[in-house]
Amino acid sequence: MADKSQYLTKKVDEGVRHEANQNLGEAIKSYEEVIKYPLQVPDEITEEAVKAKEQACYKLGYIYKEKGLYDELIELTK
């Protein structure tokens, strides 16, 4: 199950790179993919996977706040 955790961590890192390159559309896509990625069995819910999802939420929320996308920010918190 570590492969799913590694995949999620890789996607967060990808989003960070896009963000650094000012490619916010791609960063948003990467972070949203991490957030929406299903963890279907208890073995998939590792500390690393949860951390990746948490980081993606914070980073996506920050982008939404900075860009004034308040409706999206509210939806994210739901």
Per-residue pLDDT of the chain (78 residues; tens, 9 = 90+): 568 899 999 999 999 999 999 999 999 999 999 999 998 888 888 999 999 999 999 999 999 999 999 999 999 988
* The pTM of the whole model exceeds 0.85: yes
The token pair that represents 43 in the structure block: 């073995």
Helix (H/G/I), strand (E/B), else coil: 55: helix
Cα R_g (the chain), whole angstroms: 13
Q: What is the pLDDT of residue 41?
A: 82
The ranges assigned to domains in the chain are: 2-77
What digits encode the pLDDT tens for the residues 43-59? 888 999 999 999 999 99
